[in-house]
Amino acid sequence: MEARIVVLGAGLVGRAIAIDLKKSGNAVTAVDLNRDNLMLLEEEADLETRQADFTDRRVLRPLLKHADIVVGAAPGSLGFKVMENVIGLGRNLVDISFCPEDFMELDALARTKGVTAVADMGVAPGICNTILGYHDKRMEVHSYKCVVGGLPVRRGWPLEYKSSWSPIDCIEEYTRPARFRISGKEVVKPALSDAELVEFERIGTLEEWNSDGLRSLLKTMPHIPDMVEKTLRYPGTINYIRALRDLGYFSHEPIELNGTMISPVDLTARLLFPRWKLEKGEREFTIMRIIIEGKEEGESKTCQYELYDEYDPVTDTLSMARTTGYSCTGVVNLVLRGMIKEKGVLPPEKVGVTEENFTFLMHHLRERGVEFKVRSAVDSPENLPPAAD
């Protein structure tokens, strides 16, 4: 029996989500205020589209009247409000919006409404959380590190970067303070701090720096003494980003210019976004490395997950849309199958706790060509064998 699914947001990732769910035999309706986004989707898939402002609950109510589940694929600035409205209307939800607010504030509402809402269910945060949740249930974790990035294959001067996800959320990543944990104590540093070079087999040298990606893990994993997530870019990219930020170009505080009040970040976005936009068919990739260290059955153990995924020219789907979108659709299927029964707002690490759910999600990604190479070693990280092909 086909499920009735409403996808709120038809941007790069929302389109991939809608198409994947439609291919699985569901009745999918994609909603977006931007008609251009919907036209792109209509060219690629035979599914229903609606042009509407889904941030307005009065508009949203009839759209969700018959929905079995909803996917939130709005920009981060709208994510919390969208989650609140969907939950308030009593619909199950899987959300990828990466909202700046604490989504757990909606937990009581979700429980009252009898709703299951999985938040932050993308690639990072998202699938990396489920991997940690799986291992935390089975070993005594002492440290967790995740480094992740989405980059164009071609390094173009002067930016050496193009955005394969929401550009405004990308700027937010450069300004939001990074929270992580060292020796059991929470530490807050500016984004872009503690830059280090790191090597990858297929890519070579990249640069990692602190970003605010741990999110719910800081609350749900208080027993893990060391946790950090870092963002990856080409070496040197951090210099121009830091310069723009420190000079105030990312500020939301309005300034007066020739008698007109403008927000510096709006001007910066207007100038940067055309340069950040990927060309049609341009190759980009997502890369992630997760290292989990601790003890299992009394022995020291290290587990390492590595993901490298590229733009799919056959389906014209960006890697960031694939890795984020298919992680989301995997959890949508878990909810529809009744494999996630808990009510309330669930962070993605809770999804990975059960063997059945974790195995299903990894298989779901593998079927779509998104595959992790996994290595593990007992006693010492130096004993890690080569990653399996």
Q: How does residue 269 score in pLDDT terms, banded at 50, 70 and 90?
A: confident
Per-residue model confidence (pLDDT) at position 389? 39
Is the per-residue pLDDT at 234 higher than 50? yes
Residue 188 lies in a domain: yes
Per-residue model confidence (pLDDT) at position 382? 55
Residue 389 lies in a domain: no
- Across the range 262-290, mean pLDDT stands at 91
Q: pLDDT of 168-221, one tens digit each?
A: 778 888 999 999 999 999 999 999 999 999 999 889 999 999 999 999 999 999
Residues 152, 258: one domain?
A: yes
Per-residue model confidence (pLDDT) at position 377? 77
Residues 148, 293: one domain?
A: yes
> For residues 271 and 47, what is the distance between their CA atoms, to the nearest angstrom?
34
Per-residue model confidence (pLDDT) at position 272? 86
Is the per-residue pLDDT at 360 higher than 90? yes
> For residues 2 and 81, what is the distance between their CA atoms, to the nearest angstrom?
28
Residues 132, 87: one domain?
A: no
Residue 30 lies in a domain: yes
Residues 146, 291: one domain?
A: yes
Quick one: tokens of 335? 């909810």
Residues 70, 48: one domain?
A: yes
Give the domain CATH number at 209: 3.30.360.10
Q: pLDDT of 100-154, one tens digit each?
A: 899 999 999 999 999 999 999 999 999 999 999 999 999 999 999 999 999 999 9
Which among 115, 31, 23 is positioned nearest to 69, based on CA atoms?
115
Is the per-residue pLDDT at 386 higher than 60? no
Residues 295, 192: one domain?
A: yes
Residues 353, 205: one domain?
A: no
Q: What's this model's pTM, rounded to 2 decimal places?
A: 0.92
Is the per-residue pLDDT at 334 higher than 60? yes
Residue 306 lies in a domain: yes
Q: How many CA atoms lie within 13 A of 204 on its CB side?
A: 4
User: What is the DSSP secondary-structure string of 60-108?
Assistant: HHHHTTT-SEEEE---HHHHHHHHHHHHHTT--EEE----SS-GGGGHH
Give the domain CATH number at 98: 3.40.50.720
> For residues 231 and 57, what is the distance between their CA atoms, to the nearest angstrom?
35
- How many other CB atoms are found less than 10 A from the CB of residue 57? 15
Residues 279, 302: one domain?
A: yes
Residue 171 lies in a domain: yes
Residues 245, 352: one domain?
A: no
Is the per-residue pLDDT at 384 higher than 70? no
Residues 134, 237: one domain?
A: yes
DSSP run (H or E) holding 191 = none
Per-residue model confidence (pLDDT) at position 31? 98
Collapsed DSSP state (helix, strand, coil) of residue 30 = strand
How deeply is 388 buried, as exposed, middle or buried, from its count of CB atoms within 10 A (0-12, 13-18, 19+)? exposed
Q: Which domain holds residue 151?
A: 127-318+371-383
State in Å, rounded, how far the first CA of the chain is from the last one: 37
Residue 362 lies in a domain: yes
Q: pLDDT of 50-99, one tens digit each?
A: 999 999 999 999 999 999 999 999 998 899 999 999 999 999 999 999 89
Residue 78 lies in a domain: yes
Contacts of 259-268 spanning 24+ positions with Cβ under 8 A: 265/171, 268/171, 268/244
Residues 97, 162: one domain?
A: no
CA quadruple 250, 252, 256, 260: dihedral positive or negative?
positive
* Whether the Cβ atoms of residue 283 and residue 152 lie closer than 8 Å to each other: yes
Place of tokens 């589940």: 69
Q: What are phi and psi of 151, to 5 degrees?
A: -140, 155
Q: What are phi and psi of 110, to 5 degrees?
A: -65, -40
Residue 388 lies in a domain: no
> For residues 76 and 79, what is the distance between their CA atoms, to the nearest angstrom?
5
Domain count, the chain: 2
* Whether the Cβ atoms of residue 178 and residue 211 lie closer than 8 Å to each other: yes
Place of tokens 């996994």: 374
Chain-centre distance for alpha carbon 34: 22
How deeply is 108 buried, as exposed, middle or buried, from its count of CB atoms within 10 A (0-12, 13-18, 19+)? exposed
Residues 197, 153: one domain?
A: yes
Which among 11, 2, 161, 1 is positioned nearest to 79, based on CA atoms?
11
Is the per-residue pLDDT at 388 higher than 90? no
Q: pLDDT of 285-327, one tens digit each?
A: 999 999 999 999 999 999 999 999 999 999 999 999 999 999 9
- Across the range 351-362, mean pLDDT stands at 97
Per-residue model confidence (pLDDT) at position 217? 98
Q: What average pLDDT is seen over the chain?
A: 93
Quick one: tokens of 210? 């602190």
Per-residue model confidence (pLDDT) at position 23? 95
Per-residue model confidence (pLDDT) at position 379? 57
